[in-house]
A and B are shown apart, each in its own frame.
Chain A
Amino acid sequence: MSNFEYAPAPESTAIVDIKSEYGLFINGKFVAPKSGKRFTTINPATEEVLAKVAYADLADVNLAVTAARSAFTKVWSKMPAAERGKYLFRIARILQERAREFAVLESLDNGKPIRESRDTDIPLAAAHFFYHAGWADKLEHAGMGNNPKPYGVAGQIIPWNFPMLMLAWKVAPALATGNTVVLKPAETTPLTALLFAEVCQQAGLPAGVVNIVTGDGVTGSHIVNHPGIDKIAFTGSTGVGKAIAKAVAGTKKSVTLELGGKAANIVYEDAPIDEAVEGIINGIFFNQGHVCCAGSRLLVQENFADELLEKLKRRMSLIRVGNPLDKNTDLGAINSASQLARIREISDSGDLEGAERWSPACNLPQKGFWYPPTIFTGVSQSHRIAREEIFGPVLSVLTFRTPQEAIEKANNTPYGLSAGVWTDKGSKILWTAQRLRAGVIWANTFNKFDPTSPFGGYKESGWGREGGRHGLAGYLKAGK
């Protein structure tokens, strides 16, 4: 059987107007950084510089917090809730209108396939605003008592893997519940957040309600340690999450954390094999595996493993790696040189510790950061590749004999963000889902997200939930 060849199908970048230089978005305006410093953000698929971005130091964070506080006290907390909600509806609609622009910019700055930014990241970001808009004037039904109150100023720090979507997960519930925001996008992916600042301007959002400060981890720590911040929301690594938890100890700050994962994807012998293969592919190769809830540990029932792995490898050989802006690309660029180094380092430990590596033949571009879709078989639980979050397109395959063993292995991790289960037997799905210690269980599917659906982890995968009614709790003080 021969495969059809794909002609190149690049999405045009003409829709995006990237400025050569960006300021900080403070009190409704773009301003030059007090620090006087700038850093560059690059396209990870080509290593070309996209723009110079302002670096926020403590003086800049101070200004942003002051603006957010003033907007909270003078405007946002006094506004009728229904009116507050209407701003969120406006933002949702503008995001929909400008969706393609956002999608292209996201793929340029992040390296993810346009198919994903266009069909997943941006539509979901808009949906998050639309969903939370409707909550603004219904908070007495949020399960937090009759008269729940916002914390005040929320400091929000988001990662580079879903820049715009994580912004929406943070900003939408914060605004809907009446908080104001100081947001720091990731160092390597600041551009869609800065475009979002323009959306806030177009929506007429009162100055200071959303402030966006670009920078690095030091900028983030200024936010975390700032006495004028009432609530911290962070998505990122478990290591940084723990440092934040330690830093806020003894303060009144409320904290929610969405951290790492090492999700088990359990495939029983009676699973629908073709659907399972698609689910495994989606579970680990979606967004280059830069997904905290990625199904990075495949647990296959032993007697079914050979058959499944054969199909999986065949399917992997059809994955198209390359230009993120090509509409047929499945696997885009690794987000940064440092992330690529990390993926290489942990994956190489798999070779050293005796696991067997396999990747399909694929031509990786010369420039940019790339890693081929990879699986390791013969992995044991003690291997680093079975324990540590790789955050790349690398799947570790383990086997089990009984359902009890699958549960033991699946739960044998300090993480507890997500898990998958594949079987045609309904009672076995529920039996398994009950026993998995994870916040999101995908049964006969994987990596599905929705603003109505709470997301968040057990154990060291974090504190609190985002999305759904449960997600509001992180932004509200219980009423009497």
Chain B
Amino acid sequence: MRIDVMKTYKLFINGQFPRSESGRVYELSDSKGKFLANPAHGSRKDLRDCVVAARAAFSGWNSATAYNRGQILYRIAEIMEGRSEQFVAEIVAQEGVTPAIAKKQVAEAIDTWVWYAGWTDKISVLNGSTNPVAGPYYNFTIPEALGVVAIFANGKPSLLNLVNGLAPVIASGNTAILMASEKFPLSAITLAEALATSDLPAGVINIITGKTEELVSWAGSHMDIDAIDASGLTSKQLKQAQELGAENLKRIHSFDGKASPLRITSFMESKTVWHPVGI
């Protein structure tokens, strides 16, 4: 009989897989109460490291061509496809659903990457404009990524929620910090392993596991986080994030499970440029 080689579930920061600097882990059980793993119990310092990595990665990712970003999002789908079985097994263990249901979720998650991959070079057409001002000026508006976005994607379906949060945020050129679901963190870390081999530049997506309640207060008050996807938060946690986030006017939005270009544009700014016309 062979003894399984069990995985150590770690954080994903700046393209690397460190343990929490705090040395903390928390015990995770499967849907039947059996020990599953000891994921990292991320600390405030870990979150700060995520923000530093995400901020540093922003300029490069934001200035990459939309074509390039689209190919990398598609590449993530390719890599996930090859790891489908692992994603399915973890969803079954975490969520207690049947393999068939888990398989459907994984397929949908992969297809979501593909859908957003196709948006990277089209969102400007959807949300940009040339504006017929009453004067001799050429005037246009373009959407632009807004910076570093923290994503709370708790709950079920655990993998699909992560992708629904991440894909639209990075499609436009933002960088992201994903706060993995406290109850279902394994999909997030396995997703990190796919991201690490998808040509995604280090720091574009950073993933932290731990206690949502702590993470909300740290992310809400961090002055170098520009926006929060709060879809996974309870109304009480959302209120806390909004109160703390007011200090640097974070853009905070929540969404239902559906993929939509509004999820992309909600985390973009609009820049309007004027120039005189003349000879």
Which B residues are CB-close (under 8 A) to A470? 127, 129, 141, 270
B275 and A443: CB pair below 8 A?
Answer: yes
User: With contacts defined as CB atoms under 8 Å apart, how many contacts are there between chain A and chain B in the complex?
Assistant: 107
| Residues from 51 to 67 in A contacting B, C-beta threshold 8 Å | none
Chain B 236-279 near chain A by CB (<8 Å), digits 1 or 0: 10111011011111010000000000100000011111111000
| Residues from 445 to 480 in A contacting B, C-beta threshold 8 Å | 445, 448, 450, 452-456, 458-460, 462-463, 465, 468-470, 478
A468 touching B129 in the complex, CB below 8 Å, given contacts A249-B239, A249-B243, A459-B226 = yes
B132 and A452: CB pair below 8 A?
Answer: yes
A468 and B239: CB pair below 8 A?
Answer: no
**Is residue A221 within 8 Å, beta carbon to beta carbon, of the partner chain?**
no
**Is residue B137 within 8 Å, beta carbon to beta carbon, of the partner chain?**
yes
Which B residues are CB-close (under 8 A) to A429? 275
9 A-B pairs besides A445-B276, A460-B248 with CB distance below 8 A are A127-B134, A143-B127, A238-B249, A245-B242, A245-B249, A257-B249, A439-B271, A468-B129, A468-B141
CA distance A238 to B246 in the complex (A): 10
| Residues from 407 to 459 in A contacting B, C-beta threshold 8 Å | 414, 416, 429, 433, 438-445, 448, 450, 452-456, 458-459
| Residues from 25 to 70 in A contacting B, C-beta threshold 8 Å | none
**Is residue A78 within 8 Å, beta carbon to beta carbon, of the partner chain?**
no
A249 touching B242 in the complex, CB below 8 Å, given contacts A242-B249, A445-B275 = yes
Residues of chain A touching chain B, judged by Cβ–Cβ distance below 8 Å, are: 127, 143, 238, 241-243, 245-246, 248-250, 257, 259, 414, 416, 429, 433, 438-445, 448, 450, 452-456, 458-460, 462-463, 465, 468-470, 478
B140's nearest neighbour on chain A, judged by CB, is A453
Which B residues are CB-close (under 8 A) to A259? 249
A468 touching B146 in the complex, CB below 8 Å, given contacts A440-B274, A459-B226 = no
A448 and B133: CB pair below 8 A?
Answer: yes
Residues of chain B touching chain A, judged by Cβ–Cβ distance below 8 Å, are: 126-127, 129, 131-135, 137, 139, 141, 146, 226, 235-236, 238-240, 242-243, 245-249, 251, 262, 269-276
A443 touching B274 in the complex, CB below 8 Å, given contacts A458-B146, A470-B141 = yes
B242 and A445: CB pair below 8 A?
Answer: no
B131 and A468: CB pair below 8 A?
Answer: yes
Which A residues are CB-close (under 8 A) to B132? 452
Which A residues are CB-close (under 8 A) to B272? 439-441, 453-455, 468
A444 and B127: CB pair below 8 A?
Answer: no
Give which listed residue, B127, B134, B246, B271, contacts A249 with CB less than 8 A. B246
9 A/B residue pairs, CB under 8 Å, sorted by A:
A242-B246, A445-B276, A448-B137, A452-B132, A455-B272, A458-B271, A459-B226, A459-B249, A470-B127
CA distance A245 to B220 in the complex (A): 13
Which B residues are CB-close (under 8 A) to A241? 249
A438 touching B271 in the complex, CB below 8 Å, given contacts A127-B134, A453-B139, A468-B141 = yes
A448 touching B270 in the complex, CB below 8 Å, given contacts A242-B249, A458-B146 = no
Which B residues are CB-close (under 8 A) to A445? 137, 274-276
Which B residues are CB-close (under 8 A) to A243? 246
B246 and A246: CB pair below 8 A?
Answer: yes
Which A residues are CB-close (under 8 A) to B238? 250
CA distance A445 to B245 in the complex (A): 35
Which B residues are CB-close (under 8 A) to A459? 226, 248-249
Top 6 nearest A-B pairs (CB, nearest first) are: A250-B239, A249-B242, A245-B246, A450-B133, A246-B246, A249-B243
A469's nearest neighbour on chain B, judged by CB, is B129
CA distance A474 to B272 in the complex (A): 17
A441 and B274: CB pair below 8 A?
Answer: yes
CA distance A441 to B19 in the complex (A): 44
A444 and B276: CB pair below 8 A?
Answer: yes
Question: Would you give the shortest CB distance from A263 to chain B, in whole angstroms?
Answer: 13
A452's nearest neighbour on chain B, judged by CB, is B131
Give which listed residue, A441, A456, A478, contacts B273 with CB less than 8 A. A441
Which B residues are CB-close (under 8 A) to A242? 246-247, 249
A414 and B248: CB pair below 8 A?
Answer: yes
Question: Would you give the shortest CB distance from A410 to chain B, in whole angstroms?
Answer: 14
A453 and B243: CB pair below 8 A?
Answer: no
A458 touching B141 in the complex, CB below 8 Å, given contacts A127-B134, A453-B131, A468-B131 = no
Which B residues are CB-close (under 8 A) to A462? 249
CA distance A441 to B274 in the complex (A): 6
Which B residues are CB-close (under 8 A) to A257? 249
Question: Would you give the shortest CB distance from B229 to chain A, in whole angstroms?
Answer: 16
CA distance A238 to B248 in the complex (A): 10
B141 and A453: CB pair below 8 A?
Answer: yes
CA distance A460 to B248 in the complex (A): 6
Give which listed residue, B131, B235, B249, contacts A250 with CB less than 8 A. B235
Which A residues are CB-close (under 8 A) to B235? 250
A450 and B262: CB pair below 8 A?
Answer: no
A443 touching B273 in the complex, CB below 8 Å, given contacts A453-B133, A478-B262 = yes
Which A residues are CB-close (under 8 A) to B276? 444-445
**Which of A248, A250, A462 has the most B CB atoms < 10 Å from its CB?**
A250
Which B residues are CB-close (under 8 A) to A438? 271
CA distance A455 to B239 in the complex (A): 28
A444 and B248: CB pair below 8 A?
Answer: no
Give which listed residue, B131, B239, B247, contacts A454 with CB less than 8 A. B131
A426's nearest neighbour on chain B, judged by CB, is B275
A450 and B135: CB pair below 8 A?
Answer: yes
B133 and A454: CB pair below 8 A?
Answer: no
Which B residues are CB-close (under 8 A) to A250? 235-236, 238-239, 242-243
Question: Would you give the shortest CB distance from B63 to chain A, in whole angstroms?
Answer: 8
B275 and A444: CB pair below 8 A?
Answer: yes
**Which of B238, B272, B275 has the most A CB atoms < 10 Å from its CB?**
B272
Question: Would you give the shortest CB distance from A446 to chain B, in whole angstroms?
Answer: 9
B141's nearest neighbour on chain A, judged by CB, is A454
A450 and B127: CB pair below 8 A?
Answer: no
Which B residues are CB-close (under 8 A) to A143? 126-127
CA distance A416 to B270 in the complex (A): 11
A433 and B251: CB pair below 8 A?
Answer: no
